[in-house]
Amino acid sequence: MAPMAHQASLTHSVAFLARRAATALAAVAVLGAAAAPAAYADAASASPEKLPDGLYGTKDPQYDGVWRQSLALLAQDTVGIRPAPSAVKWLAGQQCADGSFTAFRAAPGTPCDAKTGRDTNQTAAAVQALAALGGHGDTVRKAVDWLKSVQNDDGGWSSMAGSASDANSTSVVIGALAAAGEKPGSVTSKKGGKTPYDGLLTFRLGCEEKEGARGAFTFQLKGAAPNADATAAAATGALGKGFVVEPAGPGATAPVKPLSCKGGEDKKAGSDPARAAEGGDGYLVAQLDKNGQHLLSAMPGAEQQPDVGNTADAVVALAAGGHGAAAAKPLKWLEKNAADWAKQNGPAAYAQLVLAAHATGTDPRSFGGTDLVAALNATGPKPAAAAKKDSDEGGSQDDGGLGVPWVIGIGLAIGAGVGFLLSSRKKNRL
C-alpha cells in the first residue's frame, strides 16, 4: 500500500473507531498500527486538564466528545428529560464556522483551521440531537449543508471527508438528513447524481457470496467479510432512520425474511433499500441465533467475546424493520448481561441501551433491574426538568442557547470515553 493511502486508511479507521466507541480495528492490526495515527491526533484538540462544564462522561473527550454528548442528549429526549442548558450549549458551541463538527474543541472560541479534524460522524450525530431538541435551526442547517458538500461521488460518506465511503458513516448521515427534515433519497452527489442509498447498497453482500454471508453488509470493501456492526447500521439507515427508532407497537411482529436467491430477489434487494434492510436483518438474526442472542466481537487472534454495544444496535435495526419478536430475544439478553458493561463504559453505553429499549417499547427505567435513565443522568450535568407531555409542541425558543419544543426531553450518549475506546468493542471492520 502506498504511504499516502496507508495513512488515509489509518486515519479513517481510527476516526471511525472512536465514533463507534470501539477499541481496535482489524485493519489497524493488518496495517501494523498500534496507536492513533499522528495525522488524526494532531487534528483533534488537545485533551483538557479539566473537563468543560456541561460535558457528559468523565473520560478524555478528544476522540468522541461530540458523539457521546449528542447521543446522551438524544437519548434523554426520548424519555422526556429536559437537559441542562449547559449541556446543549456545549454541544452547539463545538460547531466550526463551515458547519462541521470535530470530536472535541478545547477552545471553541478559536476558529477551526486546516488542522481541525472535521468528522461526518460527529457532525451527523450533532444534527440528530440538535434537530430533536429544537431551537437550533441555523446550526442544523449549516451542518447539513456541510455534510452535503462532502458527499462522495458514489452517494455515500466516509468519516473523514475525502476518504472512501463506508456503510456506517453513510448510515449515520442518512439519519441526520432525515432528522433535519431532508429526504435522503433526494440528496445526490454532484458528480454522478448518486443518492445515499446508492452508496449504502454498494456494501451489501448478495447471492454471489456463500450462504452464511448473504444479505450482510461490509464496512467498506465490497467482497470483504460480513460485518455485523456495519449490517446493523445499514439495516437501520436503509430505512431512512437514525439513532432514535420509534416503537411500532405490539403488532409489529413480522417475521424476518433472509435474502432469497430465487426469482430475482437478490437483484431487487440490490436496488431497493427496504429489501436490502430486510436481508441485513436476516443476517443479524442468523448471527444472534448462532451465538445465543448476542453478537460477537474480538481482536484478530483473540478469544471471541460478546459485543454488548453491537447487540444493542442489532435490536434497534430489527425494531426499525418491524421485527418486534426477533428484537425481543437479544433485548432480553441485554437486560441480563449489559448492566456491568454500561457501568464501566459510561454515557455512551447507557445511551445505546436506552435507545434499544425505546425502539422496542421497553421501559428503560426498569431494564433488567437497572434504571438506565437515572444512570445516564448521573454521568452529566443535572437535567433541568422532566418534560411535560402537554407542553407546547409547536414552536421553539431560545433559552440561553437551549431550544425547547420539549414534548419529550433530551439526550443520552452513544459514544463513550477514550477508556471505552481502549477497552471495548474490538472488531474487524474491513
pLDDT tens profile 203-262: 999 998 888 999 999 999 877 899 999 999 999 999 999 999 999 776 667 889 889 888
Task: Count how many Cα atoms sit within 13 Å of the Cα of residue 43 in the half-sphere of its side chain.
Answer: 20
Q: How far is CA 327 from CA 36, 78, 211, 278, in A?
A: 35, 19, 23, 13
pLDDT value at position 217? 96
Please state, for a pLDDT cut of 90, what percent of the chain lies above it.
67
Nine cell digits for residue 36:
492513533
**Cα–Cα distance between 318 and 300 in angstroms, integer?**
28
Spell out the residues 6+ positions from residue 171 whose beta carbon is closer than 8 angstroms to its own. Answer: 200, 233, 234, 236, 237, 238
Q: What is the dihedral of CA 257, 259, 262, 266, to 10 degrees?
A: 140
As given in the structure block, the three cell numbers for residue 38 are: 499522528
Q: Residue 414: which pLDDT band, with cuts at 50, 70 and 90?
A: very low
Q: Using 50, 70 and 90 to split pLDDT, how confident is the model at 181?
A: very high
Average pLDDT, the chain: 81
Q: Which of 108-117, 256-265, 320-329, 408-417 has the lowest mean pLDDT?
A: 408-417
Rounded to an integer, what distance in angstroms lies between the CA atom of residue 119 and that of residue 221? 20
How many Å apart are CA 73 and CA 131, to the nearest integer? 11
CA distance 243 to 240: 11
Confidence of residue 263 (pLDDT cuts 50, 70, 90): confident
Question: What is the predicted pLDDT for the residue at 400?
Answer: 33
Out of 295-299, 307-311, 352-356, 405-409, least confident range: 405-409
Give pLDDT, residue 254: 82
SS3 for 372-424, per residue? Answer: HHHHHHCCCCCCCEECCCCCCCCCCCECCCCECCCCCECEECCCCCHHHHHHC
Return the number of other C-beta atoms located less than 10 Å from residue 150's C-beta: 16
**pLDDT for 22:** 34
Choose between 299 and 22: higher pLDDT. Answer: 299
pLDDT at 129 over 60: yes
> Measured in whole angstroms, how far is the alpha carbon of residue 310 from the centre of its chain?
11
pTM of the model: 0.81
Kindly list the distances between the CA atom of residue 273 and the CA atoms of 4, 179, 253, 287, in Å, as whole numbers in the listed order: 34, 18, 20, 21
Single out the residue of 311, 264, 313, 318 nearest to residue 288, CA to CA.
311
Give 202-249 as a DSSP string.
Answer: TTB--TTS-GGGTT-B-SSSTTS---HHHHHHHHHHTTT--S------
What Rg value do the Cα atoms of the chain yield, rounded?
Answer: 20
Above 80 in pLDDT, residue 175?
Answer: yes
Nearest-angstrom CA–CA distance, 366 and 89 = 30
Could you read off the pLDDT of 368-381 as tens digits, one per residue?
A: 999 999 999 999 99
8 Å CB contact between 178 and 184? yes
Express each pLDDT in 18-44 by its tens digit: 444 332 332 332 222 222 333 333 444
Torsion angle of the four alpha carbons 78, 82, 84, 86, in this order, in degrees rounded to the nearest 10: 70
Q: How confident is the model at residue 8 (pLDDT cuts 50, 70, 90)?
A: very low
Confidence (pLDDT) at 13:
38
What is residue 409's predicted lDDT score, i.e. its pLDDT? 32
Mean pLDDT, rounded, for 294-305: 75
386/83 Cα distance (integer angstroms): 8
For the cut 80, the answer to whether the pLDDT of residue 343 exceeds it is yes
Collapsing DSSP to helix, strand or coil, 30 comes out as helix
Q: Residue 373's closest CA among 29, 30, 76? A: 76
Each residue's pLDDT tens digit, 47-70:
677 899 999 999 999 999 999 999
- What pLDDT score was predicted for residue 297? 81
Mean pLDDT, range 354-377, rounded to an integer = 97
Of the pLDDT bands very low, low, confident and very high (cuts 50, 70, 90), residue 301 is: low
Give the residue-averaged pLDDT of 67-87.
96
Which helix (H) or strand (E) is 323 found in, with range? none
Question: Which of 414, 406, 399 has its CA nearest to residue 358?
Answer: 414
CA distance 334 to 405: 32
Q: Which pLDDT score, from 0 to 100, does residue 265 have? A: 81
Q: Is residue 391 over pLDDT 70?
A: no
- pLDDT at 76 exceeding the cut of 90: yes
Selected residue with higher pLDDT from 37 and 312: 312
